[in-house]
């Protein structure tokens, strides 16, 4: 793979040239400030912009054009990464090598950037029919949130840990936030996206990247220069005491979430030590501490997983269990964390964790999205590139992990309680 970058006044282009794939992949990434953005509206915006366009004003027209481009596909993704709001326009198309039409590559770039620069709207608002379809989708997604106890519990846990922080906010939002979106407000949100968000463009494929950069410059007419600072990491207030919350659910099983605040991590700890810690503590191996204590030794659950919200200084441990086993599970999780802090794990476990992580990194090289994500987070927060990251993982010591574990502050015990049954 050959990596190159191109710097322009209002955006940057990062390219990875490789013949590994038979298609090409482009991501146009707008990075804004999550704390000053209407998250639900920005998420709505990326969806409606990839539903139709000024040139292809109906969904049918839009889809037919993608089919004419040999089943190219464009979609939008909005995600909150700490204090950054990322709006990605993701475009996949066939490697032009396999297409006879000489204009195919430029046709693809024209379609992509015409969609971004000329959405299906008039001066006073977006297309009404498209708006109603996207709104219906969002309403269904929001209303179905409680149908997934794991996702709902994780979302509620962040609200309990950091109630006044951007860390507790979601791009999906609430019904009230959805109802506040109008055809006119989406126009303002679109203008805000172009005028205040930094923009990076990532391209991967077997392409002449100098030519690609020229084509992007030709078709992408976003000339707004941004100079304000961007800070992805959220520095949340220290949680002094463990917060406890029980919420009644409607499921046959309870969902327990243990929350830990990550306090004062270094770059090295964020980029490499945390991954090794996580693999030993509750990783992919059936021999991880939490799997052993909660599943093998005590048969408390079928599922245990850890979610690292490292840009929000939060580690969340999610366990599906019977409510009667909650207190024992809490004690066992606390025991496992204490053991990590005092180094009660073997050198063999440490080396196995490193091997598994390095293998996962090697496997990620077979996926375009993973490669792009690595470069994106390298530019966003300095995450090492894949080969360098392998070296960093292999260099992690037991002392590094012990030091990191001691910075984990227990902050939350949340339970979405199972529905009660007669006879219990």
Residue 421 is predicted with a pLDDT of 52
Q: Say how many C-beta atoms besides its own lie within 10 A of residue 248's C-beta.
A: 10
Compute the half-sphere exposure of residue 196: CA atoms within 13 Å on the CB side of its CA.
16
Whether residue 235 contacts residue 46, with contact meaning beta carbons closer than 8 Å, is answered with: no
Whether residue 161 contacts residue 412, with contact meaning beta carbons closer than 8 Å, is answered with: yes
For helices 274-282 and 347-364, give the axis angle rounded to 10 degrees.
110
Which DSSP helix (H) or strand (E) runs through 141? Answer: helix 128-143
d(CA 182, CA 149): 31
How open is the CA angle 137-142-144, to the nearest 5 degrees? 95
pLDDT tens across the length of the chain (424 residues): 899 999 999 999 999 999 999 999 999 999 999 988 899 999 999 999 999 999 999 999 999 999 999 999 999 999 999 999 999 999 999 999 999 999 999 999 999 999 999 999 987 899 999 999 999 999 999 999 889 999 999 999 999 999 999 999 999 999 999 999 999 999 999 999 999 999 999 999 999 999 999 999 999 988 888 877 888 999 999 999 999 999 998 898 999 999 999 989 999 999 999 999 999 999 877 789 999 999 889 999 888 999 999 999 999 999 999 999 999 999 999 999 999 999 999 999 999 999 999 999 999 989 999 999 999 999 999 999 988 999 999 999 999 999 999 999 999 999 999 987 544 4
Whether residue 127 contacts residue 121, with contact meaning beta carbons closer than 8 Å, is answered with: yes
Q: What is the pLDDT of residues 238-271, one digit of tens each?
A: 999 999 999 998 898 999 999 999 989 999 999 9
- What tokens does 63 get? 């889809």
- Provide the edge-to-edge strand list for the sheet that holds 408-417: 243-248, 408-417, 254-262, 314-321, 301-309
Closest to 247 measured CA to CA, from 154, 141, 144, 174: 154
- What tokens does 279 get? 């693999």
Closest to 43 measured CA to CA, from 32, 59, 57: 32
> Radius of gyration (Cα) for the chain, nearest Å?
23
Q: What is the pLDDT of residues 363-415, one digit of tens each?
A: 998 999 999 999 999 999 999 998 899 999 999 999 999 999 999 999 999 99
Residue 422 is predicted with a pLDDT of 47
Residue 423 is predicted with a pLDDT of 45
Residue 301 is predicted with a pLDDT of 83
d(CA 417, CA 414): 9
Residues in contact with 399: Cβ distance below 8 Å, sequence separation at least 6, in sequence order: 343
d(CA 320, CA 290): 13
* Bridge partners of residue 259, in order along the sequence: 316, 412
d(CA 117, CA 109): 12
Residue 67 is predicted with a pLDDT of 98
Q: Say how many C-beta atoms besides its own lie within 10 A of residue 35's C-beta.
A: 16
3-state secondary structure of 120: coil
The pLDDT mean for the chain works out to 94
* Bridge partners of residue 258, in order along the sequence: 317, 413
d(CA 302, CA 320): 7
Q: Say how many C-beta atoms besides its own lie within 10 A of residue 176's C-beta.
A: 9
Residue 36 is predicted with a pLDDT of 85
* Bridge partners of residue 203, in order along the sequence: 15, 26
The verdict on pTM exceeding 0.75 is yes
Torsion angle, alpha carbons of 363, 12, 380, 305, to 10? -40
């Amino acid at each position: 793979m050959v990596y190159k970058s191109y710097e322009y006044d209002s955006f940057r282009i990062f390219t990875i040239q490789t013949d590994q794939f038979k298609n090409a992949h482009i991501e146009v990434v707008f990075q804004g400030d999550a704390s000053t953005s209407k998250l639900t509206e920005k998420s709505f915006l990326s969806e409606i912009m990839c539903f139709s366009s000024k040139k292809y004003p109906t969904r049918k027209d839009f889809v037919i054009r993608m089919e004419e481009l040999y089943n190219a596909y464009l979609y939008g993704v909005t995600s909150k990464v700490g204090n950054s709001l990322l709006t990605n326009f993701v475009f996949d198309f066939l490697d032009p090598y396999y297409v006879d039409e000489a204009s195919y590559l430029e046709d693809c770039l024209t379609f992509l950037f015409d969609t971004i620069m000329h959405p299906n709207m008039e001066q006073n608002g977006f297309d009404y029919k498209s708006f109603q379809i996207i709104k219906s989708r969002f309403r269904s997604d929001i209303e179905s949130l409680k149908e997934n106890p794991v996702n709902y519990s994780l979302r509620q846990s962040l609200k309990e840990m950091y109630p006044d922080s951007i860390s507790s906010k979601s791009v999906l939002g609430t019904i009230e936030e959805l109802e506040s979106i109008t055809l006119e407000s989406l126009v303002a949100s679109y203008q805000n996206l172009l005028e205040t968000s930094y923009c990076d463009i990532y391209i991967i494929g077997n392409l002449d990247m100098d030519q690609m950069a020229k084509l992007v410059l030709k078709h992408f007419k976003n000339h707004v220069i941004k100079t304000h600072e961007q800070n992805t990491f959220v520095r949340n207030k220290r949680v002094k005491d463990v917060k406890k919350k029980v919420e009644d659910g409607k499921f046959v099983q309870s969902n327990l979430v243990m929350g830990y605040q990550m306090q004062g991590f270094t770059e090295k700890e964020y980029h490499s030590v945390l991954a090794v810690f996580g693999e030993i503590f509750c990783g992919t191996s059936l021999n991880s501490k939490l799997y052993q204590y909660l599943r093998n030794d005590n048969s408390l659950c079928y599922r245990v997983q850890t979610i690292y919200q490292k840009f929000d200084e939060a580690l969340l441990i999610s366990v599906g269990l019977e409510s009667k086993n909650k207190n024992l599970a809490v004690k066992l999780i606390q025991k496992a964390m204490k053991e990590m802090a005092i180094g009660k794990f073997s050198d063999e476990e440490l080396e196995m964790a490193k091997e598994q992580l390095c293998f996962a990194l090697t496997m990620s090289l077979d996926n375009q999205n993973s490669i792009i994500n690595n470069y994106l987070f390298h530019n966003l927060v300095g995450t090492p590139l894949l080969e360098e990251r392998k070296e960093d993982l292999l260099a992690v010591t037991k002392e590094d992990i012990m030091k990191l574990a001691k910075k984990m502050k227990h902050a939350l015990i949340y339970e979405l309680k199972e529905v009660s049954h007669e006879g219990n």
